[in-house]
Amino acid sequence: MLTKFGNPYIPQKNYIDFDPSDFIKNRIALARMKAKITQTSLAKSLNVSQAYISKIENDEYKITEKLFAKVNGVIEKISKGVK
């Protein structure tokens, strides 16, 4: 029997447990490594410390939307060879 909530015999995943910061920190670290950018060079481009980048990637600090957008822009520019 199906209900409007799905099959009652199949356990439903609890999507409330999703933490967007997990995605963000992993996205930054993976994109940085793929573009062959060190934490230090990314930090210099963003005018922040290397320790700050490390703490974001290790989920010790939460990143703001504004800084996340800047990080994406810098990674894209560096990976395309634009200075």
Query: Which domains can be identified in the chain, with CATH numbers?
Result: 19-79 (1.10.260.40)
Rounded Cα distance between 50 and 19, Å, is 24
Q: What is the 3-state secondary structure (H, E, C) of 16-55?
A: HHCCHHHHHHHHHHHHHHHCCCCHHHHHHHHCCCHHHHHH
Record the pTM.
0.63
pLDDT value at residue 43:
92
Nearest to 53 by CA among 45, 43, 44: 43
Token pair for residue 25? 């920190």
Closest of 37, 61, 64 to residue 51, by C-alpha: 61
Task: Print pLDDT tens along the chain (83 aa).
Answer: 444 555 555 555 544 455 566 667 777 888 888 888 899 998 998 899 999 999 888 878 877 888 888 888 888 887 776 55
How is residue 70 written in tokens?
Answer: 């800047």
